[in-house]
Amino acid sequence: MDIVIAIGILLFSLGAGLLGSLLGLGGGIIVIPVLSLVFGFPMQVAIGASLVGVIATSTGAASYYVQEGMSNIRLGMVLETATTVGSVIGALIAVYTNQQILAVAFGILLLYASFYMVRRPERLAVPREKEKKASFFDLSGGYIDKKDGSEVKYDVEKLDRGLGTSLGAGALSGLLGVGGGIVKVPVMNIWMGVPMKAAAATSNFMIGITALAGAVIYYGYGLISPVVTGLVAVGIFFGAVTGSRIAHLVAGTLLRRFFAVVMVAIAILMLLKGAGVLTVV
């Protein structure tokens, strides 16, 4: 690989990790269109590289959230039984799918992500009676909110809905190489009654094993390019670490709105690529 291209991929991945961390998204949603539209890599290679990058960022972030007690490990593992199945199914579909169709699907995902980033609904958790299915695994959780030092406790409800959606989020991950947090986090918060911070931390915890299930399929099918994947994983990881350290210095709302517009533009480019109008930018 040409050294200029390699440096370009590394720098874009650093930027993707940094922006992803500041925006609360995985780097994959940024790095895939760049690899596909700017560098001209096949969608499957871009998705394979992104999946490994997603494992890197989620592992780094999860280690912090687990230490802080924010991730609900029990809930995460129960939902992982569905996300891993979905991820395997999604990856198997992706390796046999025309890359133009994948580009269209990714364009639609970007449109949804840009909408989600601006809107970000949040439901406040209120104490409720424990649901039987959730109680079966004792999924209740709690953490100390660093903002005011208060202890937040919550019970989990509607586990069946959570498992169903996790299957879909896993399929999205395996199919399009993203973490799926944009689906899981609102579902955990709005349907399952998990506070937003715990939902985001638990989603992050789950992403590693979900992406792994898909990545193994891509690896087996020879769709993991070691150099591209290494550049993306190392770049996204260090970008995300930097982003988490400077997040408090950045006006998040303004950045989210600006980037939502950029994502709509990228979505249009991906849809054009899917329609065969565009090859590389």
Q: Which residues contact other proteins (rule: CB under 8 A)?
A: 1, 3, 6, 10, 52, 55-56, 58-60, 62-63, 66-67, 69, 73-74, 77-78, 80-81, 84-85, 87-88, 91-92, 136-137, 208-209, 211-222, 224-231, 233-234, 237
Q: Which of 70, 10, 34 is nearest to 239 (CA)?
A: 10
Which is nearer to other proteins, 59 or 115 (by Cβ)? Answer: 59
Least distance to other proteins from the beta carbon of 217, Å? 5
Least distance to other proteins from the beta carbon of 123, Å? 25
Least distance to other proteins from the beta carbon of 30, Å? 19
Strand partners, 111: none
Q: Residue 154: what are its φ and ψ, rounded to 5°?
A: -150, 155
CB 214 within 8 A of CB 91: yes
Least distance to other proteins from the beta carbon of 182, Å? 20
| Cα–Cα distance, 26 to 84 (Å, whole number) | 18
* Cα→Cα distances 28→77, 78, 235, 271, Å: 22, 24, 11, 17
Least distance to other proteins from the beta carbon of 214, Å? 8
Give the largest Cα separation in the chain, rounded.
60
Which is nearer to other proteins, 97 or 120 (by Cβ)? Answer: 97
| Cα–Cα distance, 169 to 187 (Å, whole number) | 10
CB atoms within 10 A of CB 231: 26
Which is nearer to other proteins, 54 or 110 (by Cβ)? Answer: 54
Buried-state track 76-95, b at ≥16 Cβ within 10 A, e below 16: bebbbebbbbbbbbbbbebb
| Cα–Cα distance, 234 to 228 (Å, whole number) | 10
Which is nearer to other proteins, 115 or 238 (by Cβ)? Answer: 238
The 8-class DSSP code of residue 248 comes to G
Q: Strands 151-154, 141-144: parallel, antiparallel or unpaired by DSSP?
A: antiparallel
Which is nearer to other proteins, 188 or 267 (by Cβ)? Answer: 188
Least distance to other proteins from the beta carbon of 252, Å? 25
Which is nearer to other proteins, 1 or 11 (by Cβ)? Answer: 1
Least distance to other proteins from the beta carbon of 80, Å? 5
